[in-house]
A and B are shown apart, each in its own frame.
Chain A
Amino acid sequence: MQTDTPFDAYMRGDDCALTGSQIRGLELFAGKAGCIDCHNGPLLRDEAYHNIGVPPYDGWEDDPLAQITFRFEIFAKGATQQMYREIKDDPGLNFRAKHKPHMGKFRTPSLRYTIYTYPYMHNGMLETLRDVVEFYNAGGGENEFAATKSEQIKPLGLNDAEIDDIVAFLETLSGEEILIEAPELPEMDPLPVVQNRGPRT
C-alpha cells in the first residue's frame, strides 16, 4: 500500500507533517464527526455496505439518453418488471443479493488518494470534498430507499471552521498522484485461420 502521505508520516511520528487545522480535522474525524465508524482500518474503509441517502443522478430525470441507459442497465442486471418500470435510483447491492434489505446500499470507499477521485459518491453527485462533509453534516440525503438508510447517518452539528478542518485533514490522505505509464503494446499477432472441415464421419 502506498503510504507516502502526510497522514502516514504523522502516524509514523513526524509531528510536523500535519498543520494545526489538519490535526483538529483528524480529531473531529475520529471523534465528533464519527467518520471513523466506517472509514477505519488500513484502507480507511470498513468494506461493508451502507445506504447513506445519496440522491439519484439528476441526469436520469432530464437527460433522455441517460434515462434510456439507466433503464437498460436495470433490465440487463436482472430486475422484476415492476422494478424495471418504476425504480428511479440505483439499487446497488440489491443487484447482487436480490434481497430487499440491501436496496441502495454501496460499499464504503477507501479515503486514500481521494483528492484525485472527484466527483464523489457512487454516482458522482457531490463535486468537492467540502460538499461531501457538508452532506454528512446535514445527516445525509434522501433517496428512494429510505427504508434501508443507515442509522449511523445523522446531523453532526459541525460549524464552518470544523468542516474546513475535516476537509484539510482529508487532503492529507493523498500523496503525489499515482499515474500508470502506458505499456508498450506487442504487435498484433492473430491465431492462424483454421478451416472448417465439415462434419466428420
Chain B
Amino acid sequence: MTIDLKIAAAINGPQGEAKAAEIAQIDVQRIYIAAEWMAKPKADGTRPKTFIMIEKGFYWSNNTGNTNAISSLGIIVGAGGRPGQVIGRAGGHQRGGLRGGKYPRNKSPEKLPGRRRRALDTDRYLISGHTRLAHVIGTTWVKAMCGSQSLQAKFDELTTRNPHQVTSFTKEDIVETLKQRVDSGGMVVWNQDIYLVDPIGARYADIVFPASGWGEETFTRANSERRIRLYPKFYDAPGEAKPDWWIIAQLTRKMGFEGFDWQNSNEVLEEGSRFSRGSRKDFHMVKVAAHREGKTPHKKLGEFGTNGIQGPVLMRADGSPEETKRLHDVNRVLPPEGPVGGTVFGKKLTHFNSQTGKCNLQKAPWSLFSSYWEWLKLREGEIWMTSGRINERWQSGYDDRRRPYIVQRWPENWIELHPEDAAVYGVENGDYLRSIARVGDSETIAQSCVERPSLTPLLRALLCRPDLGRTELICLMEALFRRGPTAA
C-alpha cells in the first residue's frame, strides 16, 4: 500500500494528501491510517477484507474522475469477486425487472450529424408542444428528477387549460371531447400507477389505469443480488386494479397488435425469459428445466422457495441448474463442457466485464479536478446544501405526502448546520429559515468562463438552468456536522 500511495502522490502532486485532508476536514495522518486498515497485509500475509460502499450521489455529479478514483481504490484493495470483499453502490435503483424492448430510435425527431438520431427527450418534446397522447406509467414525471416548472406549466397549458374539457359522463362525449382536444393541439394523458399521484394522476390524467402492486398478483422479480424468486399473491388488489401486463395487453390488442394474449403473469415470464439470456438476471435455463419437467417457470421457481435462485443461471451438461453466487468471481470454476444448450457464458461470471476481461485501471489525477475544486468554493458566507436523506423518506419527500406516518414524523424540511456556521447567521436550533440559491447567475458564469476555460463545459451545463431556487427549512444544529457544505 505504501507503493500505491507513492503512485497516488506522484499522480496527484506532492500536495495530494494535504489537499485531500483539507477537503475532508481531517488530519492527513488519518488518511494513512485508513489506507492501512484497508490494505496493510496481516502478520500471516493475508490481506484484510475490505468492503467499499459508495453513496450513489457520489456519481450523480457526472464526475468520472471521482468514480474512477474510488473504483480503482476498490480494485487495488481487492474488493469485489471474493467472499466478504465487496464494492457496491448504496442507494436503491430499479434492478428487479427485465429489460424491455428497444425504442425505434431512427424515428426520433431529433437528428444528430450524419444519419444518427438522438433518443426522444420526452420532456423537451412535450415542452415544445408536440405530445398529443402521454401514457404515463409509474412515474410522477413533473416531479421527477428533470421535472421543472416550465414542464408543469406546459402540462397545464396542454391539458387543463385547453378549451376542450370533459363535462359529460357519456363515453361517446368523453371520447369526442378528447379527440377535439388533441386536434386543437392539446394533449390527452393516461396515467397508470399503483396509487394516485398529484398532479400527474390527480390533475392531468384523463384516464387512470389503476395498477396492482406486489402481492396482489403472483409474479416474479429479482432483488438487488439478482435473486430471482416467485412472489405469490397473498392479497386482492383494491377495486379494479389490474397488473401492468394486463393493462398493456388490453391496450395493444385494441390497437391491433398481434400476440399479447397472455392469460397470467407466468405466460409473460415465459415469453420474456429468453431475452434475459446473458444478462445478470439470466433465468432462461430455469424455464428450460421447468419445461423438461413438465412444469411452468412459476412452479419451478416456487420450488426454490424464499431464497429463489441467483442469476445468471447456467445449466450443467446433466441438466441441473447452477446459480451464480457472486459476479466477477475469481475463485469460480466454470463447467468444462462450456455453456451447454441455451446457456450463455458471460465474461463477467469470472472476470471483469471489460473487452479483455482484465481490469482497466484508469488514472484520476487531481489536476483534472483541481480547477473545478478551486472554482467550487464557499464564497461570501454561502452554505451549500446537498440532498440529505432520512431513512423513511424518499428523496425530497415529494412522493411521501400521502403517508401519514412520514408526514407526522417529518412535517418540515430541515437543514444541518455546524454551530459556528449557525452563529454567523445568528440562528438557533428549531429556527425557521429560508435558503436562496443563486447558482446560475449568468453574470458570474460569464466571468468565470473567461478566467478558467477548462470549466466551460460544466458552466454551459449550468447555463441551462438559470432558475432561482428557494427552500424553507428548520434549523438543526450539531457540532458533528461539517462546516460549509451541509445536508438539507
Contact = CB atoms under 8 A, between A and B. Distances in A.
Interface in A92-148: 93, 96-99, 101-102, 105, 107
Interface string A83-99: 00000000001001111
A96 B356 CA distance: 10
A12 interface: no
Interface residues of A, number: 22
A99 B356 contact: no
A78 interface: yes
Nearest to B336: A101
B232 interface: no
A78 B111 CA distance: 32
A49 B337 contact: yes
B340 A48 contact: yes
A6 to B, nearest CB: 28
Contacts of B350: 97-99
B358 interface: yes
Nearest to B128: A200
Interface in B291-319: 317
B54 to A, nearest CB: 25
Interface stretch (A58-66, A170-178, A191-199): A191-199
Given A191-B106, A191-B107, A98 B356 contact: yes
Contacts of A195: 111
A105 B338 contact: yes
A153 interface: no
A2 interface: no
B356 A80 contact: yes
Contacts of A191: 106-107
A44 interface: no
A47 interface: yes
Nearest to A49: B338
B357 interface: yes
Interface of A: 46-50, 78-80, 93, 96-99, 101-102, 105, 107, 191, 194-196, 200
8 contacts: A48-B338, A49-B339, A80-B358, A101-B336, A102-B334, A105-B338, A194-B110, A200-B124
Interface of B: 106-107, 109-111, 113, 117, 124, 128, 317, 333-334, 336-341, 345-347, 349-351, 354-358
The 5 closest A-B pairs by CB, nearest first: A49-B338, A98-B357, A78-B355, A48-B337, A98-B347
